[in-house]
Structure 1
């Protein structure tokens, strides 16, 4: 046990701390060059680039939601000098030999992330958010422009539309208006629900003016007709007319329905708050921290804080609100590919920190690394036996507010250390990964250890780690004990903090 503790400590020490679109533009080429140049104006020269394996781990996690397999890493190394750009295009746009799988995984991963944007951790919901996630998945799979997706959310005519988002938020106009403006405009206006906002200029009439757009909306189980109409709402005896933010004038145009007008104003390419908020959230997801860090309070940013962000948002809008194109551009940029910096008190203009894997990314990476069965017909497939749901639910208890927040505690650690997945992973009779590694006639001990590191941590062991672990195996008295030693090494890798971090 002392030796296993030493192995974990070794890993801890090594773990780092801290409009129409042209073919090229749709793959982020020109936008990526602009990001590189604009970033140098804002921050100076970018940090050194991360190594290829670190880059591969990042883009697989960020785009398809899991770590790469060892064979995928070998294929990546064979892609040639421009391998990073080629990999980004394969993962995002579904090109190459695994096209259909990557397209499906990318849509699922984006849907999971955006579901958390629309329904942040800790939000009370009515029903299962998987209905919203399925709706988002279909939209991302079809490469629906971002403005169109959000326009559908804003212009709903019934509680069941757009993945049932309105129903999930309790079928209350005030809940819907506050969450929609937070997620799409980066404005937290709910503090003005009962009184004028104490810290910013939002008034009670601003809050209820937004809720009024949904004044006549009812949940599917509401028997009584609403006492309000679309375009007005009554709260504590006072009736509020619908109005947009940043104006004192109520909505007067009658050419179309109030919600249709809200949706058009909200998602307009001329609305810088909308495009900037979207770009900020995508940048935060990929790099770990928004161009303006407080993504839910963008209205409090100064003009200087917003300069780079507003320009990026404008380009996002000009390119047709193409989410995949923006992701490709950021992933190809020097700033995304920069080395992660260790925690420091030194003031730097730009720094990339470690990101924490989402609960689904943890499971899907375990599934990939351990070569678990994935078919519904396989009785041992953890994805369908309830083990995935159990793990995701437990890890979801500590999901942070930003990708940099690491809030897991003892229950989550114990689940990974002692859970059924981990127990089976280190059992020679049941572990596909261990059998493949230990029984390969072409591997020596150094090869076996390197393969375990690549499968679990997406990196090669340091020379000190390799030497120590080869000796650890050699010190076992018998062949069976030596094979079991690889299970202990695998257990240490799976339970290292490095496994649940994106470096």
Structure 2
């Protein structure tokens, strides 16, 4: 298996000029013409508007002033294409599109194995793993939560075969078959037997939780839980194990397919490159011989310091071999799910490529060819099937790779088109439905959060040390020792709220990202690399306990029980005064443990709970959203002018440059230059404040609260 995926080597060698690089626009225009669309397409947006739009879409934040200047320094004929390549290579591309996948797959970082699953998706996007490979791994995964990062999808539905049948069809193929669990689908071709045949692929999968360690894992049983006919349908009928059956049609193998031929050539080239890269350090399977060799290495190492004997080495090898056999027996791989994954991701399964292309097109264009994006059916056909098929073919030929698909869309003419502003709603809807204009889109919650942080220079400290000292009082509980009756200084523990007292696996967090101790809007950044490293180094307690004797297990249980039993103690409250430098530094919300708490900025602006299959992001405006931007600490800190910001120098000193500061504020927040009227109005706002710094804070607060800031241009 390749450790890195290599599409960039094959797909990005040449930057094409816009006219030569837009076959997508030509296909769409021709399809509109054939469909009798008579309206004219709106023109493209200007350069800075395109920069803002594509930066938000690809890396999940607005561009910085430095990035704007760099963009303007490029040749006009190639600046857009070069910028797209820079953004695709940016480390934030994986952050932003991990959110897309986590929503689609309903991955939750506080669920068993959820953090590791999100980290797996992040690494897969970063390394260019194809969507087909990602899907195969998630559908077929077996093992221990956390130690097998791909397992989060199966565990998300508790390995329930009926739930997994519905979610797998909807997520990976864009087809809603869950209705057929109880009866034949009333509006589509799916029968109840189709649903049960699909569910049978998951029928032997079991979710198991160890009674000793609470470890969750999956394995395969000998018998299926999916039986036919369904219970209660035929009185007295014998219910037998359902035979797995794939209900979705594949293109015939003898039908010529240029995309598949191109895919085959691409994969052969990738395999050659990977083989050349790994030839010198290929490793064999970790079988018994490898374990014995490892034990011999341990013996050599020990002999340099401590005496050992051959019997001890042999016993250690036997224990390691036993662990290996136990793991293989306990985490039985699923042949049924592997077969299902192969059929779902088969290049001749058009729905697999079409449904993903439709999702990404909808994410970037504001609406899909099929709406809702996960509801392909006979009654809900694509608005532009030829354009969708063109993209699907290119997606297949490019190795099912996300970056290639995104590149094709954002370099196209339809993506660059303006919004239909100032027209009647029927006209606007007609233009948007034919992709002759682009719909208005509000930033998703994580993008809005990170854009406020970017505009306010909050990814790093912006105030000089010691300029913002504040005092905070916190309450702790201190226990009295019953034996002495005196106030014993046990380790103080801050009172936690109900949510933080819940028992859940602690996420891997990055160090050094703390801010104000009373801030509830900051993000807690997950360390994806640490999560994946932890999964590889996991000692797997279950296997270790299988090698232990019953007496050792019982001793461990009694020791844990004794540690949990504390004598009754009496507590009293103590208030602690602390002084801290209120110089906040915010982390990206893209790596925040997700979903966030219900009262957090991200959830208020529409981040889903990822609890149910049909839950989507809510972009409906609300009073609570307005109040959070108007009064929230994030907006307040972003508005304040720090001594370390470039704009501070323009507002202070012997010769302040007020107009230059206003222009910089507009470029940093709205990615454009202000008009003469806006400059005059900004002067009034600043002059009405007590100082230029306070006035600029007021101006930035106003701009951050504008619709222009929240919506994509």
TM-score tier, shorter chain, comes to: 0.7 to 0.9
Gaps of 5+ in 2: 1-5, 34-39, 212-217, 232-238, 250-333, 461-509, 517-521, 525-584, 590-595
Root-mean-square deviation (CA), in Å?
Answer: 3.4
Matches within 5 A, 1:347-362: 347-348=430-431, 349-350=434-435, 351-362=437-448
Q: Please report how far the alpha carbon of residue 125 of structure 1 lies from its aligned counterpart in structure 2 after TM superposition.
A: 9.0
Residue number in structure 2 paired with 1:393: 603
Q: Assess if the C-alpha contact under 8 Å between 1:27 and 1:325 holds in 2.
A: no
Q: Assess if the C-alpha contact under 8 Å between 2:205 and 2:221 holds in 1.
A: no
Does residue 64 in structure 1 map to residue 66 in structure 2? no
Residue number in structure 2 paired with 1:242: 244
Residue number in structure 2 paired with 1:146: 131
Q: Please report how far the alpha carbon of residue 364 of structure 1 lies from its aligned counterpart in structure 2 after TM superposition.
A: 1.3
Q: Please report how far the alpha carbon of residue 239 of structure 1 lies from its aligned counterpart in structure 2 after TM superposition.
A: 3.9
- CA-to-aligned-CA distance 1:365-411 (integer Å, 9 cap, x gap): 122111114594254384449995532233235799778x6313122
Change (3 A) 1:370 1:27: farther
Q: Please report how far the alpha carbon of residue 126 of structure 1 lies from its aligned counterpart in structure 2 after TM superposition.
A: 4.7
SS at 1:295 equivalent = coil
Q: Please report how far the alpha carbon of residue 244 of structure 1 lies from its aligned counterpart in structure 2 after TM superposition.
A: 0.8
The equivalent position to 1:75 in structure 2, one of 67, 70, 76, is 70
Matches within 5 A, 1:132-211: 132-158=117-143, 160=145, 161=148, 162-211=150-199
- CA-to-aligned-CA distance 1:232-281 (integer Å, 9 cap, x gap): 5565356432111236xxxxxxxx92222211111111111111111111
Q: Assess if the C-alpha contact under 8 Å between 2:61 and 2:447 holds in 1.
A: yes
TM-score between the two structures when normalised by the length of structure 2: 0.59
The equivalent position to 1:282 in structure 2, one of 353, 357, 360, is 360
SS at 2:453 equivalent = helix
Q: Assess if the C-alpha contact under 8 Å between 2:370 and 2:383 holds in 1.
A: no
SS at 1:241 equivalent = coil
Matches within 5 A, 1:32-71: 32-43=21-32, 46-71=41-66
Residue number in structure 2 paired with 1:87: 83
SS at 2:679 equivalent = helix
Residue range with higher mean Cα deviation, 425-434 or 272-281 = 425-434
| Counterparts of 2:662 and 2:113, CA distance in 1 | 42
Q: Assess if the C-alpha contact under 8 Å between 1:66 and 1:362 holds in 2.
A: yes
Q: Please report how far the alpha carbon of residue 86 of structure 1 lies from its aligned counterpart in structure 2 after TM superposition.
A: 0.3
Q: Please report how far the alpha carbon of residue 169 of structure 1 lies from its aligned counterpart in structure 2 after TM superposition.
A: 2.4
Q: Please report how far the alpha carbon of residue 490 of structure 1 lies from its aligned counterpart in structure 2 after TM superposition.
A: 0.9
Residue number in structure 2 paired with 1:473: 686
Change (3 A) 1:303 1:83: closer
Q: Assess if the C-alpha contact under 8 Å between 1:32 and 1:332 holds in 2.
A: yes
| Counterparts of 1:303 and 1:286, CA distance in 2 | 17
Larger Rg: 2
The equivalent position to 1:214 in structure 2, one of 202, 209, 234, is 202
Residue number in structure 2 paired with 1:489: 699
TM-score between the two structures when normalised by the length of structure 1: 0.82
Residue number in structure 2 paired with 1:257: 335
Q: Please report how far the alpha carbon of residue 124 of structure 1 lies from its aligned counterpart in structure 2 after TM superposition.
A: 13
Residue number in structure 2 paired with 1:322: 401
Gaps of 5+ in 1: 1-18, 95-101, 248-255
Does residue 499 in structure 1 map to residue 709 in structure 2? yes
SS at 1:219 equivalent = strand
Where is the helix percentage greater, Structure 1 or Structure 2?
A: 1
Q: Assess if the C-alpha contact under 8 Å between 2:136 and 2:345 holds in 1.
A: yes
Q: Assess if the C-alpha contact under 8 Å between 1:370 and 1:432 holds in 2.
A: no
- CA-to-aligned-CA distance 1:446-503 (integer Å, 9 cap, x gap): 2212211221222222332222222333455xxx433312111111111112222112
Residue range with higher mean Cα deviation, 344-353 or 425-434 = 425-434
Q: Assess if the C-alpha contact under 8 Å between 1:369 and 1:455 holds in 2.
A: yes
Residue range with higher mean Cα deviation, 256-265 or 423-432 = 423-432
| Counterparts of 1:53 and 1:21, CA distance in 2 | 27
Residue range with higher mean Cα deviation, 176-185 or 229-238 = 229-238
Q: Assess if the C-alpha contact under 8 Å between 1:133 and 1:163 holds in 2.
A: no
How many residue pairs match? The answer is: 463
Matches within 5 A, 1:414-453: 414-428=627-641, 432=645, 435=648, 438-439=651-652, 444-453=657-666
Q: Please report how far the alpha carbon of residue 217 of structure 1 lies from its aligned counterpart in structure 2 after TM superposition.
A: 1.4
The equivalent position to 1:336 in structure 2, one of 415, 432, 436, is 415
Change (3 A) 1:498 1:24: same
Task: Select the structure with the greater relative contact order (CA < 8 A; seq sep ≥ 6).
Answer: 1
Residue range with higher mean Cα deviation, 487-496 or 421-430 = 421-430
Q: Please report how far the alpha carbon of residue 437 of structure 1 lies from its aligned counterpart in structure 2 after TM superposition.
A: 5.5
Q: Please report how far the alpha carbon of residue 131 of structure 1 lies from its aligned counterpart in structure 2 after TM superposition.
A: 3.5
